[in-house]
Amino acid sequence: MTAILEARNLSASYGTNLVLQDIQIAIHPGDVIGLMGRNGMGKTTLIRALVGLLPARDGAVLLDGQDAAGMPPFKRSRAGIATVPEGRGIFASLTVRENLRFAARPGGVWSEERVLSVFPRLAERIAHRGNHLSGGEQQMLAIGRALMTNPRLLILDEATEGLAPLIRDEIWHTIRVVRDAGVAILVVDKTVSAVLSLADRVVVLVRGSVVYSGAPAGLQVDPALMYRHLGVDG
CB 10 within 8 A of CB 23: yes
Using rule CB under 8 A, residue 173 touches other proteins: no
Pick 101 or 173: Cβ nearer other proteins: 101
Using rule CB under 8 A, residue 74 touches other proteins: yes
CB 153 within 8 A of CB 4: yes
Q: Contacting other proteins (CB under 8 A), which of 32, 103, 175, 219?
A: 103
Question: What is the spatial distance between Cα 160 and Cα 194, in angstroms, rounded to a whole number?
Answer: 10
Q: Contacting other proteins (CB under 8 A), which of 9, 78, 169, 227?
A: 78
Using rule CB under 8 A, residue 198 touches other proteins: no
Query: Which of these segments, 11-19, 32-40, 46-54, 166-174, binds other proteins (CB under 8 A)?
Result: 46-54
Indicate the helix (H) or strand (E) that contains 35.
strand 32-36
Pick 98 or 222: Cβ nearer other proteins: 98
Strand order in the sheet with 153-157: 81-84, 153-157, 184-188, 32-36, 201-206, 209-214
Contacts of 183 (CB under 8 A, 6+ apart): 147, 151, 152, 153, 154
Q: Contacting other proteins (CB under 8 A), which of 45, 77, 160, 174?
A: 77
User: Closest distance between other proteins and the C-beta of residue 89, in Å?
Assistant: 4
Q: How many residues bind other proteins (CB under 8 A)?
A: 26
Using rule CB under 8 A, residue 17 touches other proteins: no
Using rule CB under 8 A, residue 134 touches other proteins: no
Query: Which of these segments, 15-23, 77-85, 159-167, 182-190, binds other proteins (CB under 8 A)?
Result: 77-85
**For residue 18, how many other CB atoms are within 10 A of its CB?**
15
Question: What is the spatial distance between Cα 37 and Cα 219, in angstroms, rounded to a whole number?
Answer: 12
Question: What is the spatial distance between Cα 114 and Cα 116, in angstroms, rounded to a whole number?
Answer: 5
Interface residues with other proteins (CB under 8 A) are 51-53, 72-74, 77-78, 82-83, 85, 89, 91-94, 98, 101-103, 105, 129, 131, 145-146, 149
